[in-house]
Structure 1
Amino acid sequence: MRLSLCSRARSVRPFRWSPNAPDHHRRRRLSLLVIMGATGTGKSRLSIDVASRFPSEVINADKIQLYRGLDITTNKIPLRDRRSVPHHLLGDADPSAGELSPISFRSLAASAAASIASRSRLPVIAGGSNSLLHSLLSDRFDPLTPLGYDFRSPVRLRFNCCFLWVDVREPVLSEQLDRRVDDMLGLGMFEELAGYIGTPEARAESGRNVGLNRAIGVPEFERYFRRFGSAVANPETDVAARAGYEEAVREIKENTRRLAEAQREKIVKLGSSGGWRLNRVDATEAVRAGLEGEPDRFREAWDRDVLRPGLKVVKRFLDESAFENNTFY
């Protein structure tokens, strides 16, 4: 069911934001919804769910998904799953143009958010790269320190932000991440990587793609391709190649789990030391139901534990933000 703001909020004139406006004006006027969480927790799903109920557009904040190419390996949400919700900075950057810096992302994402807000729509920032989130949201960003600051004092935000943190507890998240790697391989991840780095010629061409080459899966399978070539090994006739393939898959799963752990630790720091007011929603039971192959139970748990609490937070945020002349209706 579509939620609506009170008539008082709807009557407010939409704010037209300029990226050249003073920082204090931007903080007071431009409102953003930020959906954060470790990889594999359901951020993309929640962003689409929110946009299906409030007029919204999504800005990607995953540092690998910024680049064009390797859609399966980087786990970009397919067009068919976006439900016609506009997405920005998702596969837009040319990987051969060099790595996109946090400072560049700060400028591009702020401009995208301003454009979205100028159309009386809610900018939704979704992604697991906390360094990008901090670069965009921090009033004063120092690219020379980890995450742009050292956690010794709370971070002043340049925008009016509502934070939704989608969290999944261990060991459910680890099992979910392992399953996701298997699913990606089933969708053609190996074949996609074989075309990207499976031959010396392909590796030479992809060598300039610094940012995209950091995607989990590229370095792990590059070692396999250098030794065994790009063909899928027959386990009955080529035991060594099959063992190499399985080792690459194990490394991908281990590295993905490590990434998720590091992301969660940084989110906790942003909430405690950084002073970000995080609204945590727990997707553990929904993810567990999905792993156990129970779609009805998954939808029930997702609606109960994630979607309904999240929508309640967003509606309250929009009701309050309406008084700042930044309405989305």
Structure 2
Amino acid sequence: MKLPLTNASWKPKLNVSLLLIRPSLPALMRWAPMAAGPSLVPSRRRDKVVVIMGATGSGKSQLSIDLATLFPSEIINSDKMQVYSGLDITTNKIPPEDRFGVPHHLIGSVDPEAGEFTPYDFRALGQSVIEGIISRLNLPVVVGGSNSFIYTLLAERFHPGLDVFDGSGSVSHELLFDCCFLWVDLSFPILEDYLRKRVDDMLDSGMFEELVQYYNDDPGRFEPVNRTGLRKAIGVPELERCFRRYPPRRSDTWAGLDPLRRVAYEEAVREIKENTCQLAKRQIGKILRLRDGGWNLRRLDATEAFRAAMVAEGPGKGLKWAEIWESQVLGPSAKIVKRFLDE
């Protein structure tokens, strides 16, 4: 399932007279007198960046779009599968119509056949994108669940040979930017239920047919070597094992499978759901690692909003979800960001 607000005309009802602002250049790029020396020439301080973190499916994209209606922003995707072009349903990219005109960067822009897009690649491109957004007097908002990408982009000292998430390196306290971290979190049992239903929704939206076409377009993708890029996205290896047993036909649809194939594919779907939940668990562990390492993460509890979303049915569904989301997630987030920009 998707969040009820997706594809809806709902807009935040916050007091926009207090929140709707265009951050001035000084608000985004702070300048201060030099601490020493005879010259009074100002020295540049760190640019301001908002970073929205959270496990897969926790509502990060929704929050980024909502905040962009209040603070003129441009969004930088930090999901390592969504940077690649193709498999939009499988990688759960936010559709263009759901972006409400907000510019998005590094989403679907990397050729998956060009090799692995590394955290180091993301660091270089991400910093360039941030500079461009700042030059347009907009607020850069980094959004995504790949915490290795986020860490590599933001850390002052980045050592490619060390992994701060497996304990081989320590978390850097020094960041390249002045960051406001928003962590969207919720009760894990609620998140698990939501993620399992979201897989069903992705299948209903054409995920199975998308992967049938993906393998029919290039049978060489069955080769086990060089499993990079999109071939590591959850959903691809699980269904690939089934396609090896029952080669897909271009006309195959999820609803039209014969009973023998359906048994095999339903097993793959169970694996997809379990692997998605395990991914969320690992992502939360990495976020806690950054928090314990000294990053100032502002936690926003979306549990009650998701609980309402899970039971929303019929006309007007999502209205209660929207009210709770606004009061417990969006409203507090907007206040945090406004204070951050005013500092």
Give secondary structure in 2 for the equivalent of 1:29: strand
Q: How does 1:240-279 map to 2 (within 5 A)?
A: 240-272=260-292, 274-279=293-298
Contact 2:19–2:71 (CA under 8 A) maintained in structure 1 = no
Q: How does 1:8-157 map to 2 (within 5 A)?
A: 10=24, 12=26, 15=29, 28-147=45-164, 150=168, 152=170, 154-157=172-175
The 10-residue stretch of structure 1 (285-294 or 120-129) with the greater mean CA deviation from structure 2 = 285-294
2:329 matched to 1:311?
no
Q: Which has the higher contact order (CA 8 A, sep 6+)?
A: 1
TM-score when normalising by structure 2: 0.83
Partner of 2:301: 282
TM-score when normalising by structure 1: 0.87
Give secondary structure in 2 for the equivalent of 1:114: helix
Give secondary structure in 1 for the equivalent of 2:188: coil
Contact 1:38–1:261 (CA under 8 A) maintained in structure 2 = yes
Give secondary structure in 1 for the equivalent of 2:289: helix
Aligned length: 310
Q: How does 1:123-202 map to 2 (within 5 A)?
A: 123-147=140-164, 150=168, 152=170, 154-198=172-216, 201=219
Task: Measure how far apart 1:267 and its partner are.
Answer: 0.3
Give secondary structure in 1 for the equivalent of 2:299: strand
Contact 2:209–2:254 (CA under 8 A) maintained in structure 1 = no
Over the matched positions of the two proteins, sequence identity in percent amounts to 52
Offset from partner CA, 1:145-203 (integer Å, 9 cap, x none):
22477464553111100000000112100001001100000000000000112577262
Q: Specify the code of the residue in structure 2 equivalent to 1:106.
A: R
Unaligned runs of 5+ in 1: 18-24, 321-329
Contact 2:77–2:107 (CA under 8 A) maintained in structure 1 = yes
Partner of 2:6: none
Give secondary structure in 2 for the equivalent of 1:103: helix
Superposed CA RMSD: 2.7
Q: What stretches of structure 1 move > 6 A for 4+ residues in a row?
A: 205-209, 233-237
Change (3 A) 1:153 1:248: closer
The 10-residue stretch of structure 1 (32-41 or 227-236) with the greater mean CA deviation from structure 2 = 227-236
Contact 2:75–2:142 (CA under 8 A) maintained in structure 1 = yes
Distance 2:171 2:128 in 1: 27
Distance 2:162 2:46 in 1: 28
Q: Specify the code of the residue in structure 1 equivalent to 2:208.
A: F
